[in-house]
Structure 1
Amino acid sequence: MSFRSALRPALRPALASLSGLSIYAGIRHSSSSSSQVATCTRWLVRDAWSGAPRECPTPLVLLRTPGLSLGSGGASVGVSKATEETWYEWADMFATRGYTTVEVDVSVASAPASAADTANGSSDDSSTGNGAPSFPREIAAAKSALNDQIRLLNIPFAPIIVASGPSCLVAQAYISDHAASGLVLVSPPPDADPRTEATTQEAGWAYPRFTYEPRFPILLVAEPGQEEAVTASRVGSAAEDGVGRGGKGVSIQVATDGPRGEKTRMEVERWMDSCGF
């Protein structure tokens, strides 16, 4: 890494402020208690640039979930290590294009399962009594932490949730119970658990299943070579059924330059334009 590249993350907030962007951030430290399964450990808000051609009222929430990993099983289904990288470049560019962007890190840690958890499939979702889907305790806790952070930020409109890799699981759990204007899943994991038995035991969390209806703007971004798998997924098959026509249902794109590439970001921006955001 060059000296200039190493300095770039440190200089970026200063450069953004010079160009008229407002940036404010926070860091939270998780509790040492074993019951603290998931917590928001970092958030970074960039207001839309005042010099942007237009200001978009719908904010973007760019999600990461440190600690939630598919392990070695993820590599075999096209979930690359790059999906765990930060959203700095995307957040900066979307802000200059007129979007308020919020980077949120929800750190996830496995907790010892009680006998009741084991009997109920490790579920810890209080909404299950109302007929809502039941999620593993780690996914449910991360979903709640994300919802709490979005509420604390007083976002006026339901956001577009952007996630990649394992964080797509938390994003889908969130939209199963909370309002969102749209959903972008970059390199989404498959419907079935791709992990080996050993990897699953090491991770300590069960794989969720989703039943939400893909009848709102959803963009699936597949890595090269994974287009067929993404298209054949439960959500991806809705695009083949014509639900995605007009930008109001499921659409599928290919990440031509990786899950954090600028060309991929531009495809996401074009999709948002087609949806009227």
Structure 2
Amino acid sequence: MQTLAAQFPSIGYNTMEIDIDMPSPLASQPRSLLTYFESELSSQIRLAAIPFRPVIFARSAGALIAQTYISSHPASALVLIAPTPSTSCAEAKALLPNLQEFNYEPRFPILILDSPEREEAQRKENRLLRNEAPAVDFVSVNSVDGQGAFVEIQRWLDSIGV
């Protein structure tokens, strides 16, 4: 994510990286842990005093935090990079057992970027892709860390007018 965040300012975007520490003591309930992360993310975005709704980027399990955030906060767009396909998949269950599926309406542009090997699982398990919401796009790239991912994200941001 640091490499990706460093590339966008070179083409005129402002970026902000947010690293949230685990709470101490660790919250025992999945919802309370995500509520903590959502609150921290919201606080950091508010402190940045940006004059517009942000485009939120999240990767892997961080997509759970981003989706919790956008469930109750405004965003211009959401970019999920190799996200956990659903809250019921093994990766999400290992982190946060008994987490309910998100139910926010995708009323803003969403990009899901993942590898060709994970595309079928994303299309099968990810509710955003299963419901074929018009605001949700999927792009397959050979490496979510590579230049191809940056180019595809840049192309998508341009297509939605950000």
Q: TM-score, normalised by structure 1?
A: 0.53
For the 8 Å contact 1:164–1:259, the answer to whether it is kept is no
* Alpha-carbon distance in 1 for matches of 2:118, 2:12: 31
- Residue 111 of structure 1 aligns with which residue? 26
- Residue 49 of structure 1 aligns with which residue? none
* Alpha-carbon distance in 2 for matches of 1:250, 1:230: 12
- Residue 156 of structure 1 aligns with which residue? 51
Q: 2:79 aligns with which of 179, 184, 196?
A: 184
Answer with 1 or 2: which has the greater Rg: 1
Compared CA separation, residues 208 and 170, structure 1 to 2 (3 A): farther
Q: Which runs of 5+ in 1 are unaligned?
A: 1-86, 114-121, 123-134, 244-248
- Residue 209 of structure 1 aligns with which residue? 101
Q: Return the offset for 1:192.
A: 3.8
Q: Return the offset for 1:231.
A: 1.6
Identity between Structure 1 and Structure 2 (%): 35
Q: 1:271 aligns with which of 139, 156, 160?
A: 156
For the 8 Å contact 1:163–1:171, the answer to whether it is kept is yes
Q: TM-score, normalised by structure 2?
A: 0.88
* Alpha-carbon distance in 1 for matches of 2:89, 2:5: 30
* Alpha-carbon distance in 2 for matches of 1:103, 1:161: 10
Q: 2:144 aligns with which of 259, 269, 273?
A: 259
* Alpha-carbon distance in 2 for matches of 1:206, 1:146: 22
Q: Return the offset for 1:195.
A: 3.1
Q: Return the offset for 1:141.
A: 0.4
Q: 1:219 aligns with which of 99, 111, 117?
A: 111
Cα shift readout 1:83-123 (whole Å, capped 9, x = no counterpart): xxxx222122100100000011112246264xxxxxxxx3x
Cα shift readout 1:55-110 (whole Å, capped 9, x = no counterpart): xxxxxxxxxxxxxxxxxxxxxxxxxxxxxxxx222122100100000011112246
1:88 aligns with 2:12: no
More helix, by proportion:
2
* Alpha-carbon distance in 2 for matches of 1:90, 1:195: 27
- Residue 88 of structure 2 aligns with which residue? 193
Compared CA separation, residues 218 and 204, structure 1 to 2 (3 A): closer
For the 8 Å contact 2:88–2:101, the answer to whether it is kept is no
Q: Which amino acid aligns with 1:105?
A: D
* Alpha-carbon distance in 2 for matches of 1:204, 1:229: 20
For the 8 Å contact 1:185–1:221, the answer to whether it is kept is yes
* Alpha-carbon distance in 2 for matches of 1:163, 1:211: 18
Q: Return the offset for 1:204.
A: 6.6
Q: Return the offset for 1:207.
A: 2.7
Compared CA separation, residues 221 and 146, structure 1 to 2 (3 A): same
For the 8 Å contact 2:55–2:78, the answer to whether it is kept is yes
Q: Which amino acid aligns with 1:88?
A: Q
- Residue 38 of structure 1 aligns with which residue? none
